[in-house]
Amino acid sequence: MKLLITGSNGFVAGSVIAQARKNWDVHGIARSVLPTTSPNSTYHQLDLLNTGKLTQLFLKLKPDVVIHAAALANIDFCQDNRSMAEAVNVSVTNTIAECCKSNNCKMVLCSTDTVFDGSKGNYNEDDLPNAVNYYAETKIKAEEIVLAASEKNSVARLSLVMGLPVIGKGNSFLAETIAKLKKGEPVKFPENETRTPIDVITAGAALTELAGTNFGGIIHLAGNTRITRFEMAKQIAHTMAFPEELIIGTDSNAIPGRAPRPNDASLNNSKAKSILKTPMLSLADGLTLTMNTKIAQQV
The closest alpha carbon to 204, from 2, 56, 22, belongs to 22
- Residue-level pLDDT at 171: 75
Alpha carbon of 235 to those of 142, 160, 288: distances in Å? 34, 15, 12
Q: Are 196 and 266 in contact (CB under 8 A)?
A: yes
Give a yes or no: residue 142 inside a domain: yes
Is 244 part of any domain?
A: no
Residue 299 has pLDDT above 70, yes or no: no
Structure confidence at residue 257 (pLDDT): 87
Whether 229 maps to a domain, the answer reads no
Name 32's Cβ contacts closer than 8 Å, sequence gap at least 6. Answer: 9, 45
What is the average per-residue pLDDT within 155-175? 87
Predicted local distance difference test score (pLDDT) of residue 169: 66
For residue 132, tell me if it sits in a domain. yes
pLDDT at 11: 92
In a domain, 41, yes or no: yes
In a domain, 57, yes or no: yes
Decide: helix, strand or coil at residue 29. Answer: strand
Would 258 be classed as within a structural domain?
no
**Contact assessment for residue 235 and residue 244, using Cβ atoms and an 8 Å cutoff:** no
Could you report the per-residue pLDDT of 233-275, keeping only the tens digit for each?
999 999 999 999 999 999 999 988 899 999 999 999 999 999 9
What is the pLDDT, as a whole number, of residue 297? 39
Contact 93, 190 (CB under 8 A): no
Q: If pLDDT is split at 50, 70 and 90, which confidence band does 230 have? A: very high
Task: Compute the Cα dihedral for 135, 138, 142, 143 and give only its sign.
Answer: positive
Torsion sign, CA atoms 168, 169, 174, 175 = positive
pLDDT of residue 37: 57
Query: Residue 41's pLDDT is what?
Result: 87
Collect all residues with Cβ–Cβ distance below 8 Å to 193 and sequence separation of at least 6: 118, 228, 229, 252, 261, 262, 263, 264, 265
For 2-58, how does the pLDDT look when each residue is reduced to its tens digit (9 = 90+)?
999 999 989 999 999 999 999 999 999 998 866 665 678 899 999 999 999 999 999
- For 74-98, the pLDDT digits (tens) are 999 999 999 999 999 999 999 999 9
Alpha helix segments (H runs only) across 90-160: 92-102, 134-149
The yes-or-no verdict on residue 134 having pLDDT over 60 is yes
Number of structural domains the chain divides into: 1
Q: What pLDDT was estimated at residue 217?
A: 98
Integer-rounded Cα radius of gyration of the chain: 18
Q: What is the pLDDT of residue 298?
A: 39
- DSSP class of 88: I
CATH number, residue 98: 3.40.50.720
Residue 6 forms beta bridges with which residues? 29, 68
Residue type at 137 in one-letter notation: E
Average pLDDT value for residue range 266-290: 96
Domain of residue 294 covers 2-170+196-224+265-298
Cβ neighbour number for residue 235 with a 10 Å cutoff: 17
Across the chain, mean pLDDT equals: 93
> What confidence score (pLDDT) does residue 36 get?
62
134 falls within a domain: yes
